[in-house]
Amino acid sequence: MANGARYSFRSVPSCNMCGAGQEHLRPLGMRLNQSQGFNPKRLTGIAVGVRKCAMCGLVFSDPQPIPERFDNHYGDAGDYWQDEYFADDPSYFEREIAGARSVLPACDKPTALDIGAGIGKAMQALAAAGFDTYGLEPSAAFRDIALKRGLDPQRLILSGIEEASYPPETFDFVTFGAVLEHLIDPAAALTRALEWLKPSGIVQVEVPSSKYLIARLTNLYFRLRGTNYVTNISPMHSPFHYFEFGLRSFELHGQRAGYGVARHDYGVGEVLHFPKIMHAPLRWYMARTDTGMQLTVYLRKRGK
């Protein structure tokens, strides 16, 4: 493999989020295990199929590549994140905290859980904003950096969500910041987090949007060049995204899992592969059509 990882491959029988069957899973194209550039036909590698759910907009690979070891993807924080991520930023997670406050029930000191806490930047921001904050991080390399930054090892546990255990209805707020797209089973992760959430509590999720305009234009370019490759997701190379989500993905999963969408917004994000002169008009269009890179949702757990 391009990243040195070994994989097993698992077929996908239904949409992970809404449960739609094979008849609703539309093929988009193929994705290589490396950056594809402008002429992927000249490259050699392993490719997986990419599908999109016609019911909810979820984009995913089929078959799904499962790494032999978690550290094959996230073993070195320095390799994964660019240098600027490690710099202190007073405004980090400010927008997300404001969004949470706008939909959370009134509480003097809400309890918060950061799932996939990384080097602890969101945990520190939440604590500074008055939250009683805890975290989960499955990568030892990421957690070690967080502890060096002053995080309490009793509050930031080395664990994935699948192995972690908290009492039911412990937290007012749970956040998956740039996490859900990396998980093999995001629907199960959301369902588990809801068990730890108080009634009417909020789960905040930030994920890549399956409506991203630049991805659709890039796919069109590939088709015009006579290839069936697509730019969506990157399940076998950095940043190791397994999924892109539609708003409908959460609306339909919430009907099964016991939550509703309390608030959502789209972020424009980066403009890739286009000349700089086109960036401003593309950003203007994406901001007005909800076709930016990121989707953020605030999910309210239904009361008993």
CATH level 3 topology of 73-209+254-301: Rossmann fold (3.40.50)
What integer is the mean pLDDT of 22-39? 95
CA dist 89 and 295 (Å) reads: 22
pLDDT digits (tens, 9 = 90+) for 209-236: 999 999 999 999 999 999 999 999 999 9
Rounded to 10°, the helix 213-224/279-289 angle is 120
Q: What percent of the chain has pLDDT over 70?
A: 93
Query: Is 240's pLDDT higher than 70?
Result: yes
Q: Where are the domains of the chain?
A: 7-71+210-243, 73-209+254-301
92 contacts: CB under 8 Å, gap ≥ 6 = 121, 122, 125
Query: Is 304's pLDDT higher than 70?
Result: no
CA dihedral 125, 127, 132, 138 (to 10 degrees): 50
Of the listed ranges 77-91, 232-246, 269-283, 285-299, the one predicted with least confidence: 77-91
What integer is the mean pLDDT of 116-123? 95
Element housing 31 (H / E): strand 25-32
Report the predicted TM-score, pTM, of the whole model to 2 decimal places.
Answer: 0.93
pLDDT digits (tens, 9 = 90+) for 132-190: 999 999 999 999 999 999 999 999 999 999 999 999 999 999 999 889 999 999 999 99
Query: Is 2's pLDDT higher than 60?
Result: no
